[in-house]
Structure formats: structure tokens, C-alpha cells
Chain A
Amino acid sequence: MASDRSHAHAPVDDGAVHAHISKAQFYWAIFGLLVVLTIITVKVSYYDFGSLNIVVALLIATIKASLVAAFFMHLRHDNLFNTIAFLSAFLFLSLFILLTYDDLGRRGQIDNDYGGTIQLDTGLAAPGGLPATSATANEASGEAAPRSAGGKGGGAEKKE
């Protein structure tokens, strides 16, 4: 890592700033690509891939994001550590989401009374929360219940 200083002086160590300058047309090309991807992502949203919907959408979004980061934000020709700093943010964010989901997404899977929002036998919603009627009325209105009786755990099971 001690190479940072030389990075700072790269490429020629005369102390002056040597930024990589791309052609204007190149930037326009990237923009065109981004617009195309935007159109694609809207178009595919009219087809149903079931649980893959979010995967497809995020995949395209990630391609767009990488284009912006790599070329508009010059990461491609920038100090490597900047890229590391940038990516580490996503790493820690994913840790945050995954470990949190490991709780909320998997409650009530071993014992339904533990972590459920609705009692299976009585159908009573836990006090202090939204009244159960909102769930039952939901069925009445012909929609799927927002949360199955299994509560959060149930919701998660449905997804898996």
C-alpha cells in the first residue's frame, strides 16, 4: 500500500496533476448506452418473471451504475484505492441487509408463536400492532393477505 504516494504522482512523477482525458464522443456513447438500458428495463417490467423481476431490474441497474462509476466518475483511470473505498460501501451495505433479513425474514419458522404477528388459533393480532381486521378485511377485498398467519416468518416463506 505504500505505493499510494507514487499513485499520487502517477503517471509522471513531476508533481503535476495528470488526469486521463477521454474524448467527448466517448462520453456521448456511454450516455447512449445508458438510455438504451433505461428503455430496456422499462420494457421488461411489462413481462412477469415472477421472483426474477427484482433480479432483472437490479442487474440492469447495476450495469448502468458501473458504467457511470467507471467512465463518468473516471474510476477506470483512477487510483485503485478509490475504487476499493467505493466498493467497500456496497460490501458493508450488503452485510447490513443480509444479517438484518436473517432476523426479520426468518422469524416464526421454528415456533409460530415466536415472532408471529397473528395468533394461529384465535386469529387475534398481537396487541400494540395493526388490528387483525386489516388482514381479514384484505382477504374480503379479494387481495392476498399482506401477511399470512405465520406473520413475518410466513411472509418470508411465501417468498422462498
Chain B
Amino acid sequence: MNEQNAPATYQLPPQMSTVAAEVDWLYYFIYWLSVVLFVAIVGAMIYWAIKYRERPGHKAEPTGHNLPLELAWTIAPIFILVFLFHKGFQGYLDMTIAPPNAIEIRVNAKQWSWEFVYPNGGSSDKLHVPVHKPVKLVMASADVLHSFFVPALRIKRDVVPGMYTTVWFEATQTGKDDIACAEYCGGRSEGPGGELPYEPTNDPDNPYVSGQMTGHWAMHSRVYVELQEDFDKFVKSIGDKCDAYRSEGKICPGEVAAAEGQKLSVSKGCVACHTTTGMRLVGPSWKDIWGKEESTDKGDVLVDENYIRESILAPQAKIVTGFQAVMPTFSGQISDPEIDELIAYIKSLK
């Protein structure tokens, strides 16, 4: 799948999870079974087509009956099929029922980004997991169907709005792999300023940069399988620093909050529509927006805490002139402190 570890075999990506070996064994079992059957059937067909080709003096024999033969090839497959079903179902249960000691990571999918929320509340747009530890993903979608797919882990599961789905795995080696969306979820080519540009990069971590055409295919992320200590470091680093201050009853300093807000703007997928450069995307750019008088469909408003808070929780309430009412609500998906941090971040962009 990626440049570090080339495909394990010609047909299958590298094996990075405990179930992979089992799945691949079954895959190749069916593969060779198919090869044998295929060669037998097509071989016989071609051989007979030539041996018994129409030619002077050669006449077809009337078809006879051979009940044993017919019964044989009706019944024999049943045994193979039962075996396949049994192995397949076994493997399926193995990858469905998570062990109780699994680390639980929440996955929030939305058009068109992934967010991974770790037990300590910190979140990132790339998935970091420890090696040799069972990890259980509890997934939910804010808008339409998505599907969480990691080839090297051999896992895939649809993410359904209005319902939680889960998938679990235990990585067997450190490394990276791609996370793809496998359930069609639409796309966007048009920004308010007309057609968006498009140019994929060769950076395996970010092949599709924001501010371009986006959609189903661009819902790309990465899973990093790390040693336990690296994972712990990472989780700590994304943990909410403001929490520390709050826990001591202090107010979180602006710059710290702003830093947290920046992380949120990525993990919550804000950057997909709002730039911080002044460039106009689907939503207004955040550059210099703080304290500005914006004209909306409900009249002019001052961009302050209240307006930003409202725009996050009830985006349809006031639409800045010249923009579509396309932003989904984040109510229920973002906490008040998080909103404060975003506000601090937007403030800092002045």
C-alpha cells in the first residue's frame, strides 16, 4: 500500500494486523481452488473443442445420461462451500468482537474528513495506535454513509449516520498505512468562486491538500502504528493543554487556547471550507474576520464570541452574504471549551 512496506504478495497489501494472516490464508486458499477449477473446466472445454471439432467423417455421439456424475458435481461442492463459510464466518467474528481490554478510540466521519478522538479527549486527523495492543474504534458519521477501510489491517466497516458502528484490530508491526473511505459519499468541484483547482501531491501523508476539489476519494487519512511510548507521547501532546489550567481553576492563556483551536480547526475539518489566508473557499476566510461587521441575510452583525458560537452550533441562523447555507451543525459534536479555543484561534488570526 505505501512506500515503506511494499505489498506482501502480488495480490495483497502488507499484513499489519492479527487477522491479516488468517484472511490472506483463506484468500489464497480460494485463489488456488479457483485456479484448479478454472484450469479443469476451461482446459477440458478447449481440449474437447479441438479434439471433437467438426470435420468430415466425424459425427457427434448422442448425449447419454450419467446420474452419478451429475450428483457428484452437485453434492461435492457443498462440502467446500460449507468449509469456506465456516472459515469466513470465524474470521469475521474475530474481527468483529473486540476484546474487553481494547483501547477505545472514537472516529467521527464527515464529508470529507476523519477525526480520531483519544481517551484523553485529544483529537487528531490522523490515526495513531500502539503496536501489539487491541484497539477498538467506535465510529459515527455526521452526514452520509462512509466506510472506514485500512487495507493493511484487512478491516472495513461502514460509518452510518444516526448509528454507532465498531471495528477493532491489533497491529502486529510498527509502520504506516492509508485510511480510505470505501462507501461513496459524494464530492465537490465548485467553490463560491467557481470551479476549484485540483492537483494531487505525491506526499503519502497528504496526497490531497485542502482548498481543492474534494470528495469521496479525498477522504484520505493515515494510520501510524507506533511503539507504546511514542503513542503515549503523541496522546499527551494532543491532550487539551487548556484542561490543565481549567483543572486548577485558572483561565487558559489566549495563546495556549489559540494553539488548541488551531488543532481543532484541522481535526474538526473546518479548514476544508475556511482558510486562514484570506483565500475564499466555501465558507468565509477567518483571516481578519474577528471584530468585523459582516453583512448577513439577517442584516449586519459584529463577529464576536456570540456570533461565532452561533455559527458553529446553528450555522443556518445567519448566512454571510454571498455564501451558501451549506455548513452542518456541530451541536453535540463540540464542547463549550473547544468552542472557546476555536474563538481564541480566530481572534489570533487578526
Contact = CB atoms under 8 A, between A and B. Distances in A.
B97 A127 contact: no
B95 interface: no
B143 interface: yes
Contact of A126 (B97, B136, B164): B164
Interface residues of B, number: 19
B166 A151 contact: no
Interface centre among A126, A129, A130, A152 (most CB of B within 10 A): A126
Given A113-B138, A124-B332, A129 B162 contact: yes
Interface stretch (A15-23, A32-40, A73-81, A115-123): A115-123
A68 B138 CA distance: 52
A126 B163 contact: yes
B336 to A, nearest CB: 15
Interface string B161-193: 111111000000000000000000000000000
Interface string B133-164: 00010101111000000000000000011111
A128 B164 contact: no
A74 B333 CA distance: 61
Contact of A127 (B142, B165, B166): B142
Interface centre among A107, A126, A128, A151 (most CB of B within 10 A): A128
A119 B333 CA distance: 13
A10 B161 CA distance: 59
B212 interface: no
A117 B138 contact: no
B108 interface: yes
Given A110-B97, A113-B138, A127-B140, A151 B163 contact: yes
B161 A115 contact: no
A151 B166 CA distance: 14
A117 B164 contact: yes
B235 interface: no
Interface string A100-113: 00000001001101
B134 to A, nearest CB: 13
A124 B140 CA distance: 11
A146 interface: no
Contact of B163 (A115, A124, A131): A115
Given A111-B98, A125-B332, A127-B332, A117 B162 contact: yes
Interface centre among B98, B160, B162 (most CB of A within 10 A): B162
Contacts of A151: 163-164
B140 A128 contact: yes
Contacts of A125: 162, 332
B256 to A, nearest CB: 26
Contacts of A126: 140, 160-164
Contacts of B98: 111
A128 B162 contact: yes
A114 B166 CA distance: 5
A127 B138 contact: no
A127 B140 CA distance: 7
A113 B137 CA distance: 10
A151 B162 CA distance: 10
Contact of B164 (A114, A130, A131, A132): A114
A85 B126 CA distance: 56
Contacts of A124: 332
A100 B172 CA distance: 37
A119 B164 contact: yes
B210 to A, nearest CB: 22
Contact of A113 (B108, B164, B332): B164
Interface of B: 96-98, 108, 136, 138, 140-143, 160-166, 332-333
Given A116-B163, A126-B160, A128-B142, 12 more contacts: A107-B163, A113-B164, A114-B164, A126-B163, A127-B333, A128-B143, A128-B160, A129-B162, A130-B162, A132-B332, A151-B164, A152-B163
15 contacts: A111-B97, A113-B138, A113-B164, A114-B96, A115-B163, A116-B164, A117-B162, A124-B332, A127-B162, A127-B332, A128-B142, A129-B163, A132-B332, A151-B163, A152-B163
The 10 closest A-B pairs by CB, nearest first: A129-B162, A128-B161, A127-B142, A114-B166, A113-B166, A126-B140, A128-B162, A113-B138, A128-B142, A126-B164
